[in-house]
Structure 1
Amino acid sequence: MTTSGDNSWQTGDPEIDRALSQFMAETAGFEEVRRQIEETRGRGEGANGQVTVEVLATGSLATLRIDPRAMRLGSEVLAETILEAVRQAEEDVTNQMTALTQPLIDPSWGDDRR
């Protein structure tokens, strides 16, 4: 397809051209949401910020930062802290994904939030 400013796709049939124009506008909206999803990262932390994590929309761990002070927590507490930070990050990315995709499923979603 061509850009929205390019009219070379027009067929000359007003009904078909209207439908194609509407389809192209909707497709552009989906493409923007796809781009935003690719950039979405969930964040979580533990031990007062001594452990921070980021996860991608796919659920993959993107970053893990452990402040040297967190080593004093001991291995078991540190492991639990990391897992809790990951759970927070997963919840965060899930909430972001819902906010991005819900309007595509239900266009009236969020009207009461304004």
Structure 2
Amino acid sequence: MKNFLLTWLGTAVALLVTAHIVPGFEVKSFVAALLAVAVIGLVNAFVRPILGFLAFPITLLTFGLFTLVLNAFLLWLASILTPRDYFVIDGPLAAFLGSIVLSIVSSVINYILRGIEE
């Protein structure tokens, strides 16, 4: 449970950092980031496996690069499902860049949190 909470908080911080780096990617507050991360987690849990299965042929043909497009789409979908006042992505380029930056920043933050936890 402790690992889950630390990962959730770390990813919320990563979402805020991403919002400061990527233009067109907006998160209103830390509470909004916590809610957005919960929605992103739900989208990844329920929609990602279906889309991953359906997109497998094109992912195979592009040597996995289509996964970047899939990540951007899922992040954009999560922004639509989150209340509009909290988490907004203004376009496909912001979603694409945001998904790349978010994955890098959250990996670094979660790595640091794992080191502190031990």
Identify whether the pair has TM-score above 0.5, normalized to the shorter chain: no
> Larger Cα Rg: Structure 1 or Structure 2?
1
Higher helix share: 2
Q: Give the shorter-chain TM-score range.
A: 0.3 to 0.5
Given the two structures, how large is their TM-score scaled by the length of structure 2? 0.37
